[in-house]
Amino acid sequence: MDKADARILIVDDDQDVLLAAKLFLKQHVSIVHTEKNPENLPGLLRADNYDVILLDMNFTRDATSGKEGFYWLNKILEIDPAAVVIFITGYGDIELAVQGIKEGATNFILKPWDNKKLLATIMANLKVRSSNQELQDLRSRQKMMIADQDQAYCNIIGNSAAMQQVMATVKKVAVTDANILILGENGTGKEMIARAIHRASKRHDQVFISVDLGAISETLFESELFGFKKGAFTDAREDRAGRFEAANKGTIFLDEIGNLTFNLQSKLLSVLQSRKVVRLGTNKEIPVDVRLICATNMPLYQMVKENKFRQDLLYRINTVEITIPPLRERTEDIPLLVEYFLEIYCKKYKTTLKRVNTSTYKRLEKHHWPGNIRELQHAVERAVIMSESNILEPHDFFLTQFDDSTDNEPAVYNLEDTERMLIRKVIDKHGGNISKAAKELGLTRASLYRRIEKYGL
């Protein structure tokens, strides 16, 4: 029988017990360490990782109460929260052993032990250690993913008076648990503001769940937001928590809340009032503790007058309102934004850092920017890809095809033509190599092939 690749530590004040356990276990596991003095435990644990620790419950100073065992168990778990500890007791005190498990031990064995049972217990607990490590790794990856995602949203750029006022409000409300309603046109950065509020709140260590209500159909609304029980509908093959449960203790961001039908508004209001959700297919109420932030680009107050949005829901979600100004009302921030996006995309496309001259900035500031910061971001990315020069001119931003000065209507242009031209140029750049072109464009090969077919390239 092959030895298990595992590290075992045995801590007991009886030298005979240590010797007997080591002689037996080293036949079955790769490494067995023994220690007579528990005072040496902290140093051992900081110097090495053990898959299973066998810990005596009673040392010579206190032979029957188990207090020493509990003390050292807590010390072990302080150093390694994922540690698997099996108590050793020679007194057959089941009640004490059960208390040990409540304190954080994984299992217990009685002296004198049967070798087969000892081995079976250790092997079973090796799986526990593996599961604990996988859970810790998963949590670490989740934290890293959340941190990476937040990093993408952490740069709120703007020195204009309008943005300074927005950020002052964010600072005031973030530390509270007040419901926030963020108003603004598409592309102004409503989710960035929501994430800024979350990062500065008491819940910053908890999850931030973003829900695009405009992308959820009426039939899926309840299952997505409130969850469901297995068998609740045809495709419900397992129990699943909804977005509100997933956001428990954290923040839930409901984007495009103005898109909800009157019927769905009523269902959402019921949950916000009770702070409880009921999964589809059950009658059980599940309490949820969430910070609520909503956003929309729609005129909610006008919709209330037209009976398209519930007034009581509006009162519920807007304890504090934050209105984000459109880019055309904060044009002094355009140079800062352009420099920020230039640095990102010149690095992404491995090109020399490009610059924008004064005349180009004046032209950018005159543009209406109907898509706001999102439109500016895409314009900068296109300019970086398409321009052969290190100094960007107005035509590099495709602004010459618009006449913003004639009226105040949003400029309209054909995004498909722009995408077609961009794809053609990148494919030509890589000599028809689809893999390289897809990678540069940030697409999968399949996605690029679909666009090639769509545009007849």
Q: Tell me what pLDDT residue 318 has.
A: 94
**CA distance readout (Å), 81 to 48, 49, 75, 78, 436:** 14, 12, 10, 6, 45
Q: Tell me what pLDDT residue 417 has.
A: 66
Looking at the chain, the number of H-run helices and the number of E-run strands are 18, 16
Structure tokens at 357: 């001259």
Could you give the CA distance from residue 153 to residue 147 in angstroms, rounded to a whole number?
10
For residues 64-88, average pLDDT: 82
For residues 323-333, average pLDDT: 95
Kindly indicate the confidence band of residue 149, based on its pLDDT and cuts at 50, 70 and 90.
low
- 126 and 175 belong to one structural domain: no
Question: Per the domain annotation, does 105 fall within a domain?
Answer: yes
Domain C-terminal end among 75, 100, 135: 135
pLDDT(1) > 90? no
For residues 34-51, average pLDDT: 88
- 52 and 126 belong to one structural domain: yes
pTM of the full predicted structure?
Answer: 0.60
Domain C-terminal end among 325, 349, 364: 325
Question: Per the domain annotation, does 172 fall within a domain?
Answer: yes
Question: Per the domain annotation, does 141 fall within a domain?
Answer: no
Higher pLDDT, 72 or 132: 72
State the DSSP code for 280: B
Question: Per the domain annotation, does 140 fall within a domain?
Answer: no
- 396 and 376 belong to one structural domain: yes
- 126 and 170 belong to one structural domain: no
pLDDT(322) > 80? yes
Residue with tokens 């420099």: 339
Going by C-alpha positions, the residue among 198, 200, 216, 196 that lies closest to residue 208 is: 198
Could you give the CA distance from residue 198 to residue 156 in angstroms, rounded to a whole number?
14
What lies within 8 Å, CB to CB, of 314 at 6+ separation is 181, 300, 301, 304
- 117 and 243 belong to one structural domain: no
Q: What is the mean pLDDT of the chain?
A: 85
Instruction: Quote the Cα angle for 179-171-309, to 5°.
Output: 25
Q: Tell me what pLDDT residue 114 has.
A: 85
Into how many domains does the chain fold? 3
Q: Tell me what pLDDT residue 65 has.
A: 60
**CA distance readout (Å), 216 to 212, 248, 341:** 7, 20, 31
Beta strands 240-241 and 227-228 are antiparallel
Q: Tell me what pLDDT residue 402 has.
A: 44
Domain C-terminal end among 325, 354, 369: 325
Q: Tell me what pLDDT residue 380 has.
A: 94
What lies within 8 Å, CB to CB, of 33 at 6+ separation is 7, 8, 9, 10, 44, 48, 50
Least confident of 120-124, 144-148, 198-202, 269-273: 144-148
- 233 and 353 belong to one structural domain: no
The SS3 assignment for 40 reads helix
Which residue pairs, CB below 8 angstroms and at least 24 apart, start in 42-49? 42/75, 42/79, 44/9, 45/76, 45/79, 45/80, 45/83, 46/79, 48/7, 49/7, 49/80
pLDDT(37) > 80? yes
- 284 and 398 belong to one structural domain: no
Strand runs labelled E in 169-238: 180-183, 208-212, 227-228
Q: Tell me what pLDDT residue 142 has.
A: 59
Task: Give the whole-number percent of the chain exceeding pLDDT 90.
Answer: 46
Q: Tell me what pLDDT residue 2 has.
A: 74
Range of the domain at 379: 328-455
Higher pLDDT, 412 or 244: 244
Question: Per the domain annotation, does 142 fall within a domain?
Answer: no
What lies within 8 Å, CB to CB, of 283 at 6+ separation is none
- 332 and 209 belong to one structural domain: no
Read off the pLDDT of residues 253-292 as tens digits, 9 standing for 90 and up.
999 999 999 999 999 999 999 999 999 998 889 999 999 9
pLDDT(94) > 90? no
Beta bridge partners of 293: 180, 253
Read off the pLDDT of residues 242-254 as tens digits, 9 standing for 90 and up.
999 999 999 999 9
Q: Tell me what pLDDT residue 256 has.
A: 94
Beta bridge partners of 45: none
For residues 378-406, average pLDDT: 78
- 78 and 175 belong to one structural domain: no
Q: What is the CATH number of the domain that holds 230?
A: 3.40.50.300
Could you give the CA distance from residue 218 to residue 221 in angstroms, rounded to a whole number?
5
pLDDT(412) > 50? no
Question: Per the domain annotation, does 43 fall within a domain?
Answer: yes
What are the DSSP calls for 329-381, one per residue?
Answer: G-GGGHHHHHHHHHHHHHHHTT-PPPEE-HHHHHHHHHS--TTHHHHHHHHHH
